[in-house]
Amino acid sequence: MTTDAEQSSDRTIVVTGAGGQLGRRLVDRARDGYRGARVLGFGSADLDITDPESIAAAVVPGTVVINCAAHTAVDAAETEEDRAALLNEVGPRLLAERCAEVGAGLVHVSTDYVFAGDARTPYQPDDPTAPATAYGRTKLAGERAVLEALPSATIVRTAWVYTGTGSDFVATMLRLEAERETLDVVNDQVGSPTYSGDLADALLEAATSPRALPQILHATNAGTASWFDLARATFETVGADPDRVHPCGSDRYVRPAPRPAYSVLSPAAWKGAGLTPLRPWRDALTAALAARAVADPPGAAQ
């Protein structure tokens, strides 16, 4: 979603939340620039999205912002909704207002949690929203605040994002594979596992698209899976026996914030906008684990 000012070769993509899983991957994917643009990553210590002065220093004419900064602790948000609202609603609104002021572009990352999670077919961008958690409520409020301040902004909802490192689901499955003989994983929650590397590429493409994009798009790897399916696929991909993963109901793991039973997001609008479809989730998982193995080979010094 480029603006007229961004057609020059010196345009800049600003990535907020660059210290997080997705933000780091965005900066890594564009370390040497992207389509003639330089990419600058700002962590929370460098750019506070709740501080207008901090925003003004980074967002100047010709900039396109990809906002990955957010309060993503879903369970913690249930008891600290004000804090979640500050990062998920107030900050994005301030970013959008600054973008509107200087003619900058904005791609804002959102979530499947804005939906109730009780659908039977993939959610379209214009389907009714009904968040069941504080996290979902604050993210939906952020979407609305962004579009009110900057109607030309693009909201990109995604879901089930992982890298395969740190404490994400795939990384956790790899750790538990080495620690336990068997695992019980829920099989009554269905979504589309999304590799952060593929999502980063998708966001960069959206940020530099010469076309006017719809206000809301969905971007996930193709296909559907339960957490149980993803766990088995993770085991299988690294050569472990997938039958060591056993299915169970979500009532086995009660959490402060309820997880959506169904959060598959339709890619139809993304494809309709002329953007590159994301590959099937199993192919992406294979690539993610291969990249992990190269970055941290077995037996590497700790």
Quote the CA–CA distance of 154 and 6 in Å, as a whole number.
16
End-to-end CA distance of the chain: 42
Residues with Cβ within 8 Å of 112's Cβ and at least 6 positions away in sequence, in order, are 123, 157, 158, 159, 160, 191, 260, 263, 265
Token pair for 105: 């572009």
Active-site residue identified among 34, 113, 123, 135: 135
Q: Considering only CA atoms, which of 167, 277, 168 is closest in space to residue 221?
A: 277
**Cα Rg of the chain (Å, integer):** 19
C-alpha 213, offset from chain centre: 18
Query: Per-residue b/e over 270-288, b at no fewer than 16 CB within 10 Å?
Result: beebebeebeebbebbbeb
Burial of 258 (0-12, 13-18, 19+ CB in 10 A): middle
Quote the CA–CA distance of 271 and 206 in Å, as a whole number.
11
User: Across-strand partners of 195?
Assistant: 162
Q: Considering only CA atoms, which of 261, 257, 277 is closest in space to residue 269?
A: 277
C-alpha 301, offset from chain centre: 31
Q: Considering only CA atoms, which of 137, 133, 138, 168 is closest in space to residue 256?
A: 133
Q: Is 135 a catalytic site residue?
A: yes
Catalytic positions: 135
